[in-house]
Amino acid sequence: MRYLEYFEKILHFIKDRILVYHGANNPKGLLEVREALENVHKVEDLLPIMKQFNSKTRDGFTVNTKVPSLKDQGKEYDGFTITITGDKVGNILFSVETQTTEERTQLYHAEIDALYKDLTAKGKVLILSAELGEADAVCNLILSLVYYFYNLMPLSRGSSVIAYSVIMGALMASGKEVAGKIPKGKLVDFEAMTAPGSEAFSKIARSWMNLQSISPSYKSLPSVSETFPTLRTMTEVLNADSSRCLKKTIVAV
């Protein structure tokens, strides 16, 4: 049920990809395909249309999203895969999954590395400058970096929470904090995976983050490296009974 918010968006994407495919392989019949797709409002109607206009379609078909590169303009990476299959009695499987290879993973790593280097350089400039433009540039780089991580998704569903924690920590390091909440029904990873590019994702994420200047009181808080100097102490605090902690106890990153 948590993915229901994105059903219509993904359905429209599939229809767009079908038009792109027929535009390249069957331009004469494109108008007919377009008219047929305009009457599609549910997944069950897509498979018959694909069988009608594409002889290669038998039990199902797949479409892939594309993730544009910032590092190499004009280059695209494979995003996630949408699969629709059906059987003779009318059962339909509609699935979304991320498939990766070593080559794909390395391409994303190269993109993330380039963004991280740029973020490090911009962060140093931000320390010496109070201009709003520099802060915005750093924020966009942070969100762009996480955009590619979300589309790579090398771990599990827990990756989404980890990445959002990284966003909040990186923004704190830049002098900003997230005061807003993720809207009900929204999933940050799916926002990134269905966005047409990193700029679009940054715009969406910033619309609900309600970024504010970080409180000066954070500077008086103890640092993580001094409070938890070893891997053992870090592991111990992760396994601590948080119910005994004061609600206002915070350790600065």
pLDDT tens string 84-102: 888 777 788 888 888 889 9
**DSSP one-letter code for 223:** B
- What amino acid is encoded at 131 in this protein? E
How far does CA 37 lie from the centroid of its chain?
Answer: 27
- Per-residue pLDDT of 164-205, as tens digits, reads 888 898 998 888 889 999 998 888 988 999 999 999 999 999
List the chain domain ranges: 4-97, 102-214, 218-253
Q: Measured on CA atoms in the order 2, 198, 79, 84, is the torsion positive or negative?
A: positive
* Phi, psi dihedral angles at 13 (to 5 degrees): -65, -45
Average pLDDT over the chain, rounded to an integer: 84
Alpha helices in the chain (DSSP H): 7-25, 30-37, 46-53, 102-128, 132-152, 158-173, 188-194, 198-209, 224-227, 231-238
* Phi, psi dihedral angles at 75 (to 5 degrees): -90, 145
0.85 cut: is pTM over it? no
- Per-residue pLDDT of 109-142, as tens digits, reads 999 999 999 999 988 888 777 666 678 889 999 9
Q: How many CA atoms lie within 13 A of 165 on its CB side?
A: 6
- What fold is seen in the domain 102-214? Fic-like fold (1.10.3290)
What's the CA angle centered on 231, arms 152 and 147, to 5 degrees?
A: 20
Tokens of 210: 């309600």
Cα–Cα distance between 56 and 205 in angstroms, integer? Answer: 40
Q: Which residues contact 197 (CB under 8 A, 6 or more apart)?
A: 67, 68
What is each CA distance from 113 to 74, 81, 106, in whole angstroms? 19, 25, 10
Strands 211-213 and 92-97: unpaired
pLDDT on residue 55: 65
